[in-house]
């Protein structure tokens, strides 16, 4: 028999009563109980239930009662419900929320329309780190844009130049000798080896590695082992074949949890804790501090580019939406192949020069020497 579940409806059965009938009440925390006649689903019951719902107002949203219209508090409250906010990737929302909440704590009661460009420039200048400046301006600029045109006519942060970070190569890209050294130290069956193979063979970030579990691994239509990966940072999700190294690492691990990577208590690891743990594992393998988890993703891209992967094949593997990032790997591999090709041609030319017969040259030198001797006589 199907059971009807209705919000705020509670059933009470009193066994001491003669008929033992179950009574129903509409009960919401903070409000008096309302008795409901009949049985759930009956016409009289449902009519009384609808009247009870209409009589008691819904609880207001958290934070709505604390905001005064026109303030930074009210703007933040509306921004968190906007389509612009919800379209952001989860990781981007986490980063921006930290910045916005600090901004809100300090200026929440102030009026949005009174915020000037000078205020933004002053707050922007008080931030020391260039990368923190970039993140702050990006988050606050998007927040203030949401105030246009309902709370103010313009965005006071527009026109403020973004900080240009110095060009660097980023995280160190693992080379083949470092990869071999780590594999030699950590055997299959350890989380240290599994994390390594996941990051290298699927070119995954740490936020993607901590989510992977047995349910993402399956056998394809042609009998090949495959894996589905939900990419982060706006990249496309991928469905790719598993390499023999990664398959061996997965097969060696117990299948007791929804994720392969867990803590000592069987709980899923956070991506931040995983990054610290991996740095420790790399040091224990005798590798320098430059060998970090994100560098494995770059190492995996490098290895495939050197094997002849095209740019679009690399994109299908990594989930990147644009060619810009992936092109760096394929360009570097192409330059290396061209340099090797040039070196081979150079070696071939040297080999040919070593086989030249200098007999004729020797005879000329001999005649010249003979002529000199006759002159001296």
Chain centroid, CA 194 distance in Å: 19
Side by side, the strands of the sheet bearing 225-229 are 217-219, 225-229, 238-241
In this predicted structure, the answer to whether residue 37 has a pLDDT above a threshold of 90 is no
Q: List domains and CATH numbers for the chain.
A: 9-55 (no CATH), 65-145 (no CATH), 176-327 (1.10.443.10)
Structure tokens that stand for 248 in this block = 């061996």
Cis peptide before 149 (omega within 30 of 0): yes
Average pLDDT for the chain: 84
Choice among 92-101, 196-205, 271-280, 363-372 with the minimum mean pLDDT? 363-372
CB count within 10 Å of CB 342 equals: 10
Confidence of residue 361 (pLDDT cuts 50, 70, 90): very low
List Cα–Cα distances, 150 to 36, 64, 84, 157, 364, in angstroms.
Answer: 45, 18, 15, 16, 97
- Alpha-carbon distance of 372 to 377, in angstroms, equals 9
Q: What is the CA radius of gyration of the chain?
A: 35
Is residue 209 pLDDT above 50, yes or no?
Answer: yes
Write out pLDDT tens, residues 291-308. Answer: 999 999 999 999 998 888
- Distance from C-alpha of 260 to C-alpha of 191, rounded to nearest angstrom: 8
The span from the CA of 69 to the CA of 368, in Å, is: 106
% of the chain with per-residue pLDDT over 90: 43
**How confident is residue 354, by pLDDT bands cut at 50, 70 and 90?**
low
Q: Is residue 327 packed enough to be buried (19+ CB in 10 Å), middle (13-18) or exposed (0-12)?
A: middle
The per-residue pLDDT for range 68-119, each reduced to its tens digit, is: 889 999 999 999 999 999 998 888 898 999 999 999 999 999 999 999 999 9
What count of other Cβ atoms lies within 10 Å of the Cβ of residue 281?
21
Q: Say how far apart CA 241 and CA 317 lie, in whole Å.
A: 10
What is the pLDDT, as a whole number, of residue 363? 47
Cα gap 271→273, rounded to integer Å:
6
Cα 49-52-54 angle, rounded to 5 deg: 110
Query: Quick check: 144 pLDDT over 80?
Result: yes
| Contact criterion met (CB below 8 Å) for 269 and 257 | no
Dig out the tokens for 343 from the structure.
């070196």
pLDDT in tens, 2-16: 556 788 888 877 666
**Tokens encoding 74:** 């009210």
pLDDT reading at 356 higher than 70? no
CA distance 112 to 145: 11
What's the pLDDT score for residue 269?
85
**In the prediction, which pLDDT does 357 show?**
55
224-260 pLDDT, tens digit each? 999 999 888 878 899 999 999 999 999 998 877 888 8
Q: Indicate the pLDDT class of residue 268, thresholds 50, 70 and 90.
A: confident
Q: Does 55 have pLDDT greater than 90?
A: no
Q: State the average pLDDT over residues 144-151.
A: 93
Is residue 205 within 8 Å of residue 297, measured between CB atoms? yes
């Amino acid at each position: 028999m199907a059971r009807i579940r209705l919000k705020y409806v509670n059933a009470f059965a009193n066994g001491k009563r003669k008929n033992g009938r179950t009574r129903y009440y509409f009960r919401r925390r903070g409000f008096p109980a309302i008795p409901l006649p009949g049985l759930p689903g009956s016409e009289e019951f449902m009519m009384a239930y609808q009247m009870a719902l209409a009589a008691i107002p819904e609880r207001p949203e958290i934070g709505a009662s604390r905001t005064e219209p026109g303030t930074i508090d009210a703007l933040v409250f509306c921004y968190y419900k906007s389509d612009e906010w919800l379209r952001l990737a989860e990781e981007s929302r986490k980063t921006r929320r930290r910045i916005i909440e600090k901004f809100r704590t300090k200026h929440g009661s102030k009026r949005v329309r009174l915020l000037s460009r000078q205020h933004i420039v002053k707050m922007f200048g008080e931030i020391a780190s260039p990368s923190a400046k970039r993140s702050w301006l990006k988050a606050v600029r998007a927040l203030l844009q949401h105030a246009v045109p309902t709370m103010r006519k313009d965005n006071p942060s527009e026109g403020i130049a973004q900080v240009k970070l110095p060009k660097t190569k980023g995280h160190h890209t693992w080379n083949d000798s470092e990869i071999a050294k780590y594999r030699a130290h950590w055997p299959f069956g350890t989380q240290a080896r599994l994390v390594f193979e996941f990051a290298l063979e699927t070119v995954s970030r740490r936020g993607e590695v901590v989510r992977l579990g047995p349910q993402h691994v399956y056998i394809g239509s042609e009998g090949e082992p495959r894996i589905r990966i939900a990419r982060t940072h706006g990249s496309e999700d991928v469905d790719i074949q598993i390499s023999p190294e990664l398959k061996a690492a997965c097969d060696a691990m117990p299948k007791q949890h929804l994720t392969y990577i867990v803590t000592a208590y069987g709980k899923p690891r956070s991506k931040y804790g995983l990054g610290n743990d991996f740095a420790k594992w790399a040091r224990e393998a005798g590798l320098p501090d430059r060998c970090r988890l994100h560098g494995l993703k770059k190492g995996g891209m490098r290895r495939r580019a050197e094997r002849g992967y095209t740019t679009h094949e690399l994109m299908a593997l990594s989930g990147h939406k644009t060619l810009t990032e992936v092109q760096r790997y394929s360009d570097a591999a192409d330059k290396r192949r061209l340099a090797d090709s040039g070196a081979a041609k150079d070696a071939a030319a040297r080999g040919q020069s070593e086989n030249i017969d200098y007999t004729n040259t020797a005879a000329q030198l001999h005649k010249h020497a003979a002529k000199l001797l006759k002159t001296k006589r």
